[in-house]
Amino acid sequence: MSIASTSVIQIIPRTRRGVELWLLIVAIGVSVAAYVNIGLTVQDKVPASTGYYAAGIGLLALIAHFALRYRAPYADPVLLPCAVLLNGLGVAMIHRVDLGLAKAAEEAGRDPRGPAAPQQITWTAVGIVLFLVVILLIRDHRRLQALTYTAGLAGLLLLVLPLVPGLGVNINGAQIWVRFLGMSFQPGEFAKLCLVVFFAGYLVVKRDVLTLAGHRFLGLDLPRARDLGPILIAWAVSLGVLVFEKDLGSSLLFFGLFLFLLYVATERAGWLLIGGLLFAAGAWFAYATFGHVHKRVEDWLHPFNEVGGQVSNALMGQAWGGVLGRGLGQGRPELLQFYAQSDFIISSFGEELGLTGMIAIILVYTLIVERGLRTALGCRDIFGKLLATGLAMSFALQVFVIVGGVTGLIPLTGLATPFMALGGTSLVANWAIVALLLRISDQARRPQTPAAPVSDDTIALAVQKQ
């Protein structure tokens, strides 16, 4: 381990902000090109809103870039451009589906719903503001460790918020929305952020006992029965989310994140085994007990049994896109109604950009995940490592669950496609997550004085002495 750690710590300290700027210009260029392309194919003209869109996305990206130059010069240069690209493409696709839905409404003689794209640009601005707040106010991510239990409490409160009568609303069978001051929020997205902070802070303190005590069985280190408390609580809370909010995706996401962080903190595969068994038991229980879970599984196994089903519609859309896609503006994503902008937005890309675009987008997500994990590797403190791992893996899990659901790999669960899907809460929360990752990566890549390599264990001891 010490050899591996050494290779990470010996990064030549360079800020790479210039690289980031170039990548940002590419990301903004691709997004604006997509936007213009959509206007040209659907309306036969460069859309009048191109200036608004380009200025919005471009300006926001540049503000974020200069904030990094000012406050986090050593931050990872790839994360921000990836996020901007996904956000920009997402808005372009939302705009495209706006046009498609308006046309369909016009043909059917209905009043078209207002466009969603401007709204999403506004939310992007809010997201960037939060990004700036995180970068400018949190000068050192380790300060968050002091908020461990506060974050845990906040996370739990946010989780149960949709269950409060008069506040929570049920949309599409899931009780995960809150309506407040005439606007809808998905508090689960911020709960995710809080809980990752909590898991990381909690495991920094508890990892010793969870790591060392236990017995060996069949080559695996199994923990003591009395140390099972935390994982059982996490499991119970996840099941609670599933039972009371009918939110399969969030439930899976929270438990998965806890399990991953537990594994990283203790390096004991036994936890994965126990967690895997608990997950299987929970999944089977849910399948057998809850109609909505059962239906999701049925829709996954036999997507074409349900006439006019969303999954079958999305699958046919992606097949229609084929390898190269119909071309932006030339598919029929609006056949999925407004789901083509939210849960199924990746299917809209599959239809119009084809397998090629699909793989490109998945690769951009992969880049975010892997850059996040690289930040965790390079980070010098345990809390930062766990935090970065949790944030990065939240992207990985979320993308896998929603994209897998939309492409028919696994049963569909309603999670937001990070940065792309229509929805303010998710977008803003994701910008906060990327800001945190950038903050940690700035610390990880910043040259140390003294620059002598330090091993993990020294840091661990140092942190525990605090």
Partner 1 sequence: MNSAIRRLAVAAIVLMLALMANSTYLQAFRADDLNGRNDNRRVRDSQFSVDRGPILVGSTPIAESKESNDQFEFQRTYRVGPQYAPVTGFYSYLYGRAGLELTQNSELNGSDPSLAFRRVVDVITNRRQQGASVSLTLNAKAQLAAYSAMGNKKGAVVAIEPKTGKVLAMVSTPSYDPNQLASHDLDKVGTTWKKLLEDPNKPMSNRAIRELYPPGSTFKLVTAAAALSSGRYTPETKVRSPAELELPQTTTPLKNENLQNCGGSDNATLTVALRLSCNTAFGSVGLDLGADALREQAEKFGFGEKLLPELGAVASQFPADPNAPQVAQSAIGQFDVQSTPLQMAMVAAGIANGGDVMKPYLVQNVKTADLKTVSETKPESLHQAVTPEVASQLTQMMIDVVNNGTGKPGRIDGVQVAGKTGTAQTSPDRPPFAWFTAFAPANDPQIAVAVMIEDANVPRTDIAGGTLAAPIAKKVIQAVLGQ
Q: Which residues bind partner 1 (CB under 8 A)?
A: 1, 4-5, 8, 107, 260, 263-265, 267, 304, 307, 315-323, 331-332, 335, 350, 354-355, 358-359, 362-363, 365-366, 369-370, 373-374, 376-377, 382, 385, 389, 392-393, 396-397, 399-400, 403-404, 407-409, 456, 460
Closer residue to partner 1 (CB): 58 or 384: 384
Minimum gap (Å) between residue 413 Cβ and partner 1: 15
The least CB distance from residue 239 to partner 1, in Å, is 23
* φ, ψ of residue 115 in degrees (nearest 5): -65, 145
Nearer to partner 1, 297 or 355 (CB): 355
- For tokens 């930062």, the residue is 384
Report the amino acid identity of residue 34: A
Is 140 or 267 the residue whose CB approaches partner 1 more closely?
A: 267
> Tell me, what amino acid is at 74?
Y
CB of 429 to partner 1, least distance (A): 20
DSSP 3-state of 222: strand
Closest contact distance (angstroms) between CB of 192 and partner 1 is 17
Exposure string of 265-279, with b = 16+ CB inside 10 Å and e = fewer, is bbebebbbebbeebb
Grouping H, G, I as helix, E, B as strand and the rest as coil, residue 281 is: helix
Q: How many residues does the chain have?
A: 466
Q: Using an 8 Å Cβ cutoff, are 258 and 250 in contact?
A: no
Please say whether the dihedral angle defined by the alpha carbons of residues 420, 421, 423 and 426, taken in this order, is positive or negative. negative
- Closer to partner 1 at the Cβ: 186 or 375? 375
Q: Which is nearer to partner 1, 5 or 251 (CB)?
A: 5
Rounded to 5 degrees, φ, ψ at 185 are: -130, 155
Give the shortest CB-203-to-partner 1 separation in angstroms: 11
Cβ-Cβ contacts under 8 Å for 384 (sequence gap 6 or more): 141, 142, 376, 440, 443, 444
CB of 422 to partner 1, least distance (A): 21
Residue 91, both tokens:
């808005």
**Smaller CB distance to partner 1: residue 277 or 324?**
324
